[in-house]
Amino acid sequence: MIAIAALFAAQQVVVVLCSSSSVSISSDRISELPGQPPGVRFQQFSGYVSVDEKKDKGGLFYYFVEAQIDPTSKPLVLWLNGARDNLVFLQNWFLKFPQYKDRSLYITGESYAGHYIPQLAELMLQFNKKVKMFNLKGIALGNPVLEFATDFNSRAEFFWSHGLISDTTYKVFTSACNYSRYVSEYYRGSVSPICSRVMSLVTTETSKFVDKYDVTLDVCISSVLSQSKILNPQQVTETVDVCVEDKTVNYLNRRDVQKALHARLVGVDRWLVCSNILDYELLDVEIPTINIVGRIIEAGIPVLVYSGDQDSVIPLTGSRKLVHRLARELRLRTSTPYRVWFAGMQVGGWTQVYGNMLSFATIRGASHEAPFSQPERSFVLFKAFLEGRPLPQQF
């Protein structure tokens, strides 16, 4: 948590994690987190923001990190992962922190955020026509679900191009039953025999020992084996702690950490990365949001779509195709041709910009959750986005 906070502390960020308790917190300031290193100079807050006090629907948990340097001059970033009732949350959050109401606001998030962030941004723009409340300046979407078939069916090519499936399996995965068809059948509880056979083949070849969210990273062997009840785990590599997610979950389940964060467990005994308390309306994922992104751009709000290039869940190839198609539909000319960008002394990824309003970028070596796996490169991208600058073209 401290590492995440340090990453965000250059710009002030509100992170909305999940829905939970309606307990009222008198003071949301975090005095100190267990294990916090000395010298932390940024302020942290966490607690709950009610979304419907009259109906007692509970609240959304938030974690707010103020900028370390000159926080009064910095924009506000709302980072959404797994939240609902986002417009109400933001209105009520401003009641807690009124000093941030008129700040430049950026919204960003990853994965399914490609579904609800564009909808939230459009609601804000509609709300502003009645009462000017949100100073929205841009949105950024990481490995986002924007168009069901394009995003999901790009998985087959990604698997094949990275050597995870054979030529024969690639052929049936793109003809007999593609991934969007399988997911659609699965969500409706009626998987056809052909799709069942194809997915069994794909699953066998890709292996449970490959992380589909980061196909080049070693897996946490102890975690994978505990799920399959196999003994004798191997040693993980020393250079990358691939079990960091497990350690993070254990940290956040410590009583002293939850107390410091003013967090309460309601209806569960243990905090999990993905809680079954919050369920998506699964079939909603089939509703495209790329058209909403287009309307946001036409309203004058810049949009960045970025992809961790090692993610097979929502691969970069699908996102890049959708962004290019949208640029063509909006008649946006390329202002920055496809090129590399740098983070430090290494290539950070590739980027292309259309009309200074729509940008696409990859983050080299990053997973489905790019800041988790490539924090330095993600920060360079994040900072350039907020400052409206091109990504670095050289060392």
| pLDDT tens per residue, range 175-210 | 999 999 999 999 999 999 999 999 999 999 999 999
> Using CA atoms, how far apart are residues 94 and 16, in angstroms rounded to an integer?
14
184 token code pair: 């659609």
> Using CA atoms, how far apart are residues 75 and 176, in angstroms rounded to an integer?
49
What are the pLDDT digits (tens) for 366-382? 999 999 889 999 999 99
CATH T-level topology, domain 2-146+283-387: Rossmann fold (3.40.50)
- Would you say 218 and 209 are in contact if contact means Cβ atoms under 8 Å apart? no
- Would you say 342 and 179 are in contact if contact means Cβ atoms under 8 Å apart? no
245 token code pair: 């997610």
Domain boundaries, the chain: 2-146+283-387, 151-214
Contacts of 389 (CB under 8 A, 6+ apart): none
What are the pLDDT digits (tens) for 306-335? 999 999 999 999 999 999 999 999 999 999
Question: For residues 339 and 281, which has the higher predicted lDDT (pLDDT)?
Answer: 339
The average confidence (pLDDT) of the chain is 86
- What does the pLDDT read at residue 61? 85
What are the pLDDT digits (tens) for 220-238? 876 665 543 333 333 333 4
- What does the pLDDT read at residue 260? 94
- What does the pLDDT read at residue 87? 77
DSSP 25-94: -S--B----TTPPTT--S-EEEEEEES-TTTT--EEEEEEE--SS-GGGS-EEEEESS--SHHHHHHHHH
- Does residue 17 have a pLDDT over 90? no
- What does the pLDDT read at residue 138? 97
Bridge partner residues of 354 (DSSP): 334, 358
Find the mean pLDDT for residues 60-70.
Answer: 87
Find the mean pLDDT for residues 12-20.
Answer: 51
- Does residue 163 have a pLDDT over 90? yes
- Does residue 8 have a pLDDT over 80? no
- Does residue 3 have a pLDDT over 60? no
Contacts of 12 (CB under 8 A, 6+ apart): 64, 65, 66, 67, 71, 74, 75, 76, 77, 100
CA-closest candidate to residue 155, choices 119, 198, 209, 193: 198
Question: For residues 115 and 26, which has the higher predicted lDDT (pLDDT)?
Answer: 115
CA-closest candidate to residue 272, choices 22, 68, 82: 82
What are the pLDDT digits (tens) for 145-154? 999 999 999 9
Bridge partner residues of 110 (DSSP): 142
- What does the pLDDT read at residue 26? 52
CA-closest candidate to residue 12, choices 73, 70, 65: 65
User: Predicted confidence band at 81 (pLDDT cuts at 50, 70, 90)?
Assistant: confident
pTM to 2 decimal places: 0.89
Kindly report the backbone phi and psi dihedral angles of residue 305, in degrees, each rounded to the nearest multiple of 5, phi listed first: -115, 125
- By annotation, the residues acting in catalysis are 111, 311, 368
